């Protein structure tokens, strides 16, 4: 039985958010082209500041083993312990400038929102996502000739859930451990920063 790690919530949520979590273990089952396009479409339809749509994704699938390996080599070593099993790897990038040359202060925010929608569409299709801060940013820039006015945001592993036992031993316990979150009272304020809103106290 593969682990499920549903969110424990104070009120019931829709099943996508309830069931989504970020595994490190992936099976060798390929992601169909239709499913891959669908998750990318979901990202495309994220909201963004002035509809600037700053997100870009470099995609590498195991259909092209050399390209997939090229992306693996852009990951930090800790992520190289598990992410190579994911049949789809991506790097999320963000366009940092507005058309008028000013900084787009929301570029990373909006790219994160796009990746969140991508993840929910993946979940709806029985797929799983784990994002990665652990990427070699300079190597990504060099490998993919990323222009200076784009930020390198995060890696994304996508695929079907795999057996925890397929992971290196020190990665197996976290794979099955319950997920945790800070309480709502730590994040919902009213009146002053840091004053918990009576909504959630
Ligand atoms: C932007 C971002 C960067 C992350 N970086 C890594 C990473 O480099 N390696 C890793 O194993 N997990 C990484 N994660 C996964 C988080 O650790 C995980 O989402 C968090 O522990 C919450 O778990 P959950 O997604 O299962 O709820 C990252 C997640 C995000 C959103």
> For tokens 């969110």, what's the residue?
7
Q: How far is CA 9 from the centre of its chain?
A: 21
pLDDT in tens, the chain (201 residues): 899 999 999 999 999 999 999 999 999 999 999 999 999 999 999 999 999 999 999 999 999 999 999 999 999 999 999 999 999 999 999 999 999 999 999 999 999 999 999 999 999 999 999 999 999 999 999 999 999 999 999 999 999 999 999 999 999 999 999 999 999 999 999 999 999 999 999
User: Is residue 154 in some structural domain?
Assistant: yes
User: Is residue 62 in some structural domain?
Assistant: yes
Of residues 31, 64, 17, the one with CA closest to residue 161:
31
Any idea what the CATH number is for the domain that residue 126 is in? 3.40.109.10
User: Is residue 2 in some structural domain?
Assistant: no
Return phi, psi of residue 150, to 5°. -120, 135
- Residue 42's domain spans which residues? 15-163
Number of domains in the chain: 1
User: Is residue 132 in some structural domain?
Assistant: yes
Determine the 3-state secondary structure of 55 from DSSP. strand
Cα 123 to middle of ligand 1, angstroms:
16
Environment class of 124 (CB within 10 Å of its CB; exposed 0-12, middle 13-18, buried 19+): middle
Q: ∠31-36-42 over CA atoms, to 5°?
A: 145
Return phi, psi of residue 159, to 5°. 170, -170
Query: To test the ligand 1 pocket, which listed residue (109, 114, 128, 132) has its Cβ within 8 A of the most ligand atoms?
Result: 132
Q: DSSP letters of 145-160?
A: T--TTEEEEEEEEEE-
User: Is residue 169 in some structural domain?
Assistant: no
Question: What is the position in ligand 1's atom list of the atom closest to the CA of 82?
Answer: 11
Q: DSSP letters of 38-102?
A: HHHHHHHT---GGG---EEEEEEETTSHHHHHHHHTTB-HHHHTTGGGSSEEEEEEEE-B-TTSS
Cα 55 to middle of ligand 1, angstroms:
19
Tokens of 172: 């197996």
Give the span between the Cα atoms of 58 and 38, in whole angstroms.
15
For ligand 1, atom 12, the nearest C-alpha belongs to 132
Cα 101 to middle of ligand 1, angstroms:
32
User: Is residue 25 in some structural domain?
Assistant: yes
Give the span between the Cα atoms of 183 and 152, in whole angstroms.
31
User: Is residue 153 in some structural domain?
Assistant: yes
Cα 22 to middle of ligand 1, angstroms:
7
User: Is residue 49 in some structural domain?
Assistant: yes
pLDDT at 95: 98
pLDDT at 1: 87
Tokens of 142: 């060099």
Give the span between the Cα atoms of 13 and 200, in whole angstroms.
16
């Amino acid at each position: 039985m593969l682990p499920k790690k549903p969110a424990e919530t104070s009120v019931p949520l829709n099943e996508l958010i309830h069931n989504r979590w970020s595994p490190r273990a992936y099976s060798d089952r390929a992601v169909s082209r239709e499913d891959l396009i669908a998750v990318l479409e979901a990202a495309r339809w994220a909201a963004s500041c002035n509809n600037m749509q700053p997100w870009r994704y470099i995609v590498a699938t195991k259909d092209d083993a050399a390209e997939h390996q090229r992306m693996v080599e852009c990951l930090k070593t800790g992520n190289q312990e598990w992410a190579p099993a994911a049949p789809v790897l991506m790097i999320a990038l963000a366009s940092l400038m507005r058309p008028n040359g000013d900084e787009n202060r929301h570029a990373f925010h909006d790219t994160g929102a796009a990746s969140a929608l991508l993840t929910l569409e993946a979940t709806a299709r029985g797929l799983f996502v784990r994002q990665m801060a652990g990427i070699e940013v300079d190597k990504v820039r060099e490998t993919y000739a990323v222009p200076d006015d784009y930020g390198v945001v995060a890696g994304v592993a996508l695929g079907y859930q795999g057996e925890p036992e397929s992971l290196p031993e020190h990665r197996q316990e976290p794979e099955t451990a319950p997920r945790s979150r800070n309480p709502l009272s730590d994040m919902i304020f009213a009146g002053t920063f840091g004053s918990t809103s009576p909504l959630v106290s």
